[in-house]
Structure 1
Amino acid sequence: MQTRTLADPETLAARRAQLQDPHVAPLTAFAERLRAGEMLGERLDLPHFDPRSGGIHSEILLLLESPGPKVAQTGFASPDNPDRTAENLSCLLKLAGISRERCLMWNIVPWQLSAGGVVTPTAMQVRAATPATLELLTLLPELRVVVLVGGKAQSGWRFVQPELPRPLPAMNCPHPSPRFFATDPQAPVRALSALVEARLLAKNAAS
C-alpha cells in the first residue's frame, strides 16, 4: 500500500481541488469559520479535512491530539501526510479493515501548535477546543463511534461527553507515534485491537 502520498505535489494539489466536493464541503466551511475566529473569538491556523475521507458521511471519527509539523506543510489532517505517525495510522486502518471512506481524522485541539516542532497541548488548550469538537459532531449525522487516539484526546473527551445530545461510544487507542510505539512494543497491538473494535461497533450500530 502507498503511504505518505501527500508528499507528492500533484497529489496535494488534487486533494486541495476536492475541498468543495459535496461530502466534505460542510467540513471545509466549518474549518474556515474556525480559522476566521467566528467560533472561538480568535483567528486560528488549522488544517483542512481530507476529501479522501468519508467527510460528513463518516461512521468513525479518529480524534488525535493536535496537528503535527507535517500538517503545517500539507495543510491537511490526513493519514496520507508524509510522516511516520500518519504512516503508522494508515497501515493500522488498512489492517483493521477500515476503509478511508468510512472514517474521518481530526484533532481534539484542531489548531496548529507544532509548525516548528512537536508541541503537546496543555489541559487548558484541550478544554478551550471543546466547543469546536461539539460543533464538528453536529456535522456528522452518520457517526457511530469515536476513537480517541492518544492521552490528550482521551483526557479531553471528558469535557465533550457531558455535552453530547445523544450517547456516542468512544474508545481509547494508543497514539501511533514512532517514539511511543518504540517504547511500548504492545502499543501497536492495542491500537489495532481498538480500531478493529471500532469497525465492529460501527457495523453493529448501522445494522
Structure 2
Amino acid sequence: MIDVPQAQIEWAHRYDGYQRLASSPEQVEELIRQGRRSFEARRRVPEWCGVDLLRGWAFYLVRADRHAGGGTLGEEWLAVLERVRTHPSSTAADRPPTLSSNSLVLPTSFSTVPKMHKDSAFLAAKQARWWEEHVAPVNAFADQIHDEIAEEWAHERGDDAPPVFVPFVDPDSGGVAARVLFLLESPAGPAALGSRMLSADNNDETAKNVWLGYQASEMPRTYGLHWNAVPWYVGDGKRNKGVTPAEVERGRVYLKGLLDLAPDIRVVLALGKPAQASIGPLDSELRARRIVVVKAPHPSPRLAATTRGKSLEEFNAAVAEAHKHVRATEGDELA
C-alpha cells in the first residue's frame, strides 16, 4: 500500500473507462486481464499495452480501490503510471501528475559501514523497498530499458541473444528527488547479478570507494542517484567488458530519459571517460537545465592502484565539490 496523491486519483478518473474502453467494470477487467497477468508474472507492464489500455487500467485500479475501501494501490499502480508517463504515444494530457519532490518521504536511516549488501537480511529489506514512491519511477524505467534492449538483442541475435540485466536504483538514494547524479560506465557484476541494484552498499571495492566518498564529503545519501552511461550489464558473469562508442550512444537516450525523471538534479558527476563521453553531447541541454558537470576519475580500485591513490583523491574532491555546489544552489533558491 502507498499514499497516492489526490491529483493522481483525479487524473485516473478523468479517463472514463466506461465511455472510452468498455461499458462495465467486468468488461474493462476483461480487456486489461492479459496485461495484469503479465505484470503478475514479470513485475513489469508489457510493452504491447497502448495508451488507452493503460489509462483504462489506471481507471480500473482506482475504481476497484474505492470499492474495496482503499489501501489496495501499490506496485501495480506505480508501474502502470510510469508506463503511461514514458509511453512514446502519450501526450501531455495523458501523462499523470508528477510528484513534487517536496511531498516525497525519503529514507533517514542508512548503512554505517561499507559493503552492507553482503548481509542477506539487510539486502532483502532493501529489495522489498524497490517500489517506494521516490524510486519507483526510475525502477519502472529500468524495467522498460530491460524490455527494449532484450527485444533489440533478440532481433539481432535470435536464439543466441544473452540475458539482459538492468539493475534498479537503491531505495536509500534520492531517486527522483536526487540532486547529484553519479554517472559511471556500466553496471558491475555485484550490482547487475548480485544485489540487482546500483548502490554504494554493494559488496565490491568500487562501491566501497563511493560509500567512503559520501562519508568524506558528508553528502547525504538521498542527495545522490547512481546511473551508468550504458545501463545494462556488458560483462560475461566473471568480469565486466569495456563499453563501445555505439553502446554509449544508445545509453545516452536513456540518460536523457533519466534526467527527465529526476528534475532536481543539479550536478552530474561524470566518473571516467565513458561517462564523460556520454554526457558531452548534452552540454547545451544541461546548461539550459542549470546542471553543472563535474568530471573525475572512475572510483575503481584498479585505477586507484595504478595512480597510487591519486584517482581516489580526485574522486573524493569531486564529490565534495558537487555537495558544495548543491548547498550553494539551495541557498540561492531559499534566499
TM bin, normalised by shorter chain, reads over 0.9
Is structure 2 residue 196 aligned with structure 1 residue 85? Answer: no
Structure 1 gap ranges (5+): none
Question: How far apart are the structure 2 equivalents of 1:58 and 1:65?
Answer: 19
* SS state at 2:264 partner: coil
Letter of the 2:204 partner, please give it.
Answer: D
CA deviations on 1:23-76 (whole Å, 9 max, x unpaired) are: 111111111111111898558421011001011110111001000111121101
Question: How far apart are the structure 2 equivalents of 1:39 and 1:169?
Answer: 33
Letter of the 2:197 partner, please give it.
Answer: F
| Greater Cα radius of gyration, structure 1 or 2 | 2
* 1:198 match: 322
Kindly state the Cα deviation for residue 108 of structure 1 after the two structures are TM-superposed: 1.0
**Contact kept in structure 2, 1:15 and 1:51, CA below 8 Å:** yes
Which residue of 297, 300, 303 corresponds with 1:174?
Answer: 297
* 1:99 match: 220
Which residue of 170, 173, 177 corresponds with 1:57?
Answer: 177
Q: State TM-score, norm by structure 1.
A: 0.93
* CA-atom RMSD in angstroms: 1.9
Alpha-carbon distance change, 155 to 40 in structure 1, aligned in 2, over 3 angstroms? farther
Please state which structure has a larger fraction of its residues in helix.
2
Letter of the 1:9 partner, please give it.
Answer: S
Question: How far apart are the structure 2 equivalents of 1:69 and 1:99?
Answer: 25
The count of residues paired between Structure 1 and Structure 2 equals 207
**Contact kept in structure 1, 2:270 and 2:295, CA below 8 Å:** yes
Structure 2 gap ranges (5+): 1-111, 155-163
> Larger deviation: 62-71 or 43-52?
43-52
Alpha-carbon distance change, 95 to 103 in structure 1, aligned in 2, over 3 angstroms? same
Kindly state the Cα deviation for residue 20 of structure 1 after the two structures are TM-superposed: 1.2
* 2:311 match: 187
Question: How far apart are the structure 2 equivalents of 1:112 and 1:16?
Answer: 19
Question: How far apart are the structure 2 equivalents of 1:85 and 1:116?
Answer: 16
Question: How far apart are the structure 1 equivalents of 2:171 and 2:253?
Answer: 23
Is structure 2 residue 150 aligned with structure 1 residue 29? Answer: no
Which residue of 70, 89, 114 corresponds with 1:3?
Answer: 114
**Contact kept in structure 2, 1:133 and 1:160, CA below 8 Å:** no
Does 1 or 2 have the higher relative contact order (CA < 8 Å, sep 6+)?
1
Question: How far apart are the structure 1 equivalents of 2:284 and 2:291?
Answer: 11
Kindly state the Cα deviation for residue 2 of structure 1 after the two structures are TM-superposed: 0.8
* 1:47 match: 167
**Contact kept in structure 2, 1:130 and 1:159, CA below 8 Å:** no
* SS state at 2:182 partner: strand
* SS state at 2:295 partner: strand
- Identity over aligned residues, as a percent? 31
Q: State TM-score, norm by structure 2.
A: 0.59
Which residue of 137, 147, 155 corresponds with 2:277?
Answer: 155
* SS state at 2:320 partner: helix
